[in-house]
């Protein structure tokens, strides 16, 4: 089935007008002055206007936002057509007009990329399970997996913009690879005249907003960098087609994200990426796929649980009134859905206790799990920090920590440790996982 096309909410046929060689893409991003050493390929199966806009966003993100060298970014498509993809007034030619441009694209990466390079691959076209249509050929999940195994890279990012593109993940996931798909394995994706509706928000987040539009802030972990993970979360929350108008409807598309760098992989159908929660009263469980922000009060007598697939942030002003019960936990949503959990990293619950009113202001611990380095964000709070193993033995201890405090336990074995924070106003304990 081809990618469904929408225009202002109305379905139109996939056989839209073919694009002429004089076609000029919109200027989506200005140059940032950054530089990168990545190699990238953009494969376009057709010349429909939505596909061209989609390719232009990817190309301008790579060239203008990341600062990649034009000689290291190749566009492969139908009939050798040329377009002004980056909006600089000059025609950007396809790298090849051959029937086998699919093979030439991956040979370009194989012949040039090394273990010192990151690579970026995006494919834009109609799709069916385990296959994306290309001009006079196709791209199968098996083919892509075989090609990846022959390319050297430091890290690879693969963005698939097609119906059923989530079906590729099981075949191509591997170490040092991140995969973003605009649709799940069993559903359509959606295009407007300006491209894939999910990827439209994804690239907007990476570029911090499109030219002439409002600035976008997807820096959820506040490290000054928009990661692919954060851009995925932003797109999931802002593409209206990932949100059902009724919880029982099943027509809406759910994108998929998988990364070897991310123990918590995002796959729930109805949880939004970022949830901000204020005042709570009673027995309540609140969930967020990526980041749950607590900024209110948990009332006396309440029993509240916060669940997140990645981070729980208790902001300044958050408090648990005496007499209330409060706990947090992290879930691995992929482990909940997969029969074979052995392929996943070990999952651990992260518990947290806030024992005094007005405590735990603006405190976060991230990333958690990690390979051994954690950033404890204390803000203006000053606290003593103690790290204990599961037998209660003290392995690290720091006095009067404040601000962004780095905790390094890389020299200790993988496992679960207890982080204890003590100040004049609160006492907080949280499990951290080193993998």
Cis before 421 (ω within 30): no
3-state secondary structure of 50: helix
**Mean predicted lDDT score pLDDT of the chain:** 80
Residue 47 has pLDDT above 90, yes or no: no
Mean pLDDT of 218-228: 88
Which tokens belong to 283?
Answer: 């027995």
Class of the 4-259 domain? alpha beta
Q: Is 14 left (phi over 0), alpha (psi -120 to 50) or beta?
A: alpha
Return the ∠ at Cα 293 (arms to 291 and 298), rounded to 5°.
140
Mean pLDDT of 274-302: 90
Residue 99 pLDDT class (50, 70, 90 cuts): low
The answer to whether 72 touches 113, Cβ cutoff 8 Å, is no
Residue 248 has pLDDT above 60, yes or no: no
In CATH, what is the architecture of 274-434? Sandwich (2.60)
The reported pLDDT for the residue numbered 13 is 31
Q: Taking the model in full, what pTM does it have?
A: 0.76
User: Between these two residues, 98 and 298, which has the higher pLDDT value?
Assistant: 298
User: What is the dihedral sign for C-alpha 135, 137, 140, 144?
Assistant: negative
The model's pLDDT over 250-270, given as tens digits with 9 standing for 90+, comes to: 566 789 999 988 766 776 666
Q: In what order do the strands lie in the sheet containing 325-330?
A: 283-288, 303-308, 325-330
Residue 357 pLDDT class (50, 70, 90 cuts): very low
Residue 227 pLDDT class (50, 70, 90 cuts): very high
Any bridge partners for residue 177, and if so which? 156
Q: How many CB atoms lie within 10 A of CB 111?
A: 9
Residue 172 has pLDDT above 90, yes or no: yes
Parse the chain into domains and list their residue ranges.
4-259, 274-434
The reported pLDDT for the residue numbered 281 is 94
Residue 296 has pLDDT above 80, yes or no: yes
The model's pLDDT over 198-213, given as tens digits with 9 standing for 90+, comes to: 999 999 999 999 999 9
């Amino acid at each position: 089935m081809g990618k469904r096309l929408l225009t202002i909410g109305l379905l139109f046929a996939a056989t839209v007008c073919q694009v002429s060689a004089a076609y000029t893409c919109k200027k989506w991003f200005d140059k940032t002055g950054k530089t990168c050493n990545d190699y990238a390929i953009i494969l376009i199966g057709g010349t429909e206007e939505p596909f061209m806009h989609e390719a232009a966003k990817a190309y301008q993100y790579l060239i203008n936002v990341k600062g990649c060298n034009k000689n290291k970014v190749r566009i492969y498509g139908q009939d050798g057509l040329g377009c002004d993809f980056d909006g600089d007034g000059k025609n950007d030619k396809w790298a090849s007009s051959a029937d086998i441009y699919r093979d030439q694209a991956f040979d370009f990466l194989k012949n040039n990329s090394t273990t010192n390079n990151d690579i970026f691959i995006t494919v834009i076209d109609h799709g069916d399970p385990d296959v994306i249509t290309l001009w006079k050929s196709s791209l199968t999940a098996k083919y892509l997996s075989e090609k990846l195994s022959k390319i050297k890279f430091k890290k690879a990012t693969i963005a698939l913009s097609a119906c059923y593109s989530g079906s590729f993940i099981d075949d191509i996931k591997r170490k040092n690879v991140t995969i973003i798909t605009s649709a799940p394995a069993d559903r359509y994706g959606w295009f407007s005249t300006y491209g894939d509706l999910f990827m439209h928000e994804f690239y907007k987040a990476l570029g911090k907003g499109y030219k002439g539009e409002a600035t976008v802030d997807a820096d959820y972990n506040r490290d000054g960098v928009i990661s692919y993970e954060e851009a995925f979360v932003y797109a999931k929350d802002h593409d209206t087609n990932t949100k059902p108008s009724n919880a029982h409807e099943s027509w809406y598309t759910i994108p998929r994200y998988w990364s070897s760098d991310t123990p918590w992989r995002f796959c729930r159908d109805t949880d939004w990426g970022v949830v901000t929660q204020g005042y709570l009263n009673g027995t309540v469980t609140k969930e967020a796929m990526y980041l749950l922000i607590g900024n209110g009060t948990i009332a006396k007598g309440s029993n509240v649980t916060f669940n997140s697939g990645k981070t729980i942030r208790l902001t300044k002003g958050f408090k648990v009134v005496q007499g209330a019960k409060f706990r947090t936990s992290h879930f691995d949503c992929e482990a909940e859905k997969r029969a074979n959990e052995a392929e996943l990293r070990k999952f651990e619950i992260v518990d947290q206790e806030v024992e005094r009113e007005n405590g735990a202001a603006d405190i976060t611990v991230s990333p958690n799990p990690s390979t051994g380095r954690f950033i404890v964000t204390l803000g203006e709070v000053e606290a003593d920090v103690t790290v204990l193993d599961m037998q209660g033995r003290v392995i690290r201890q720091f006095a009067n920590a404040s601000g962004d405090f780095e905790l390094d336990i890389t020299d200790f074995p993988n496992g679960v440790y207890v982080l204890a924070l003590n100040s004049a106003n609160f006492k907080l304990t949280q499990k951290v996982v080193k993998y």
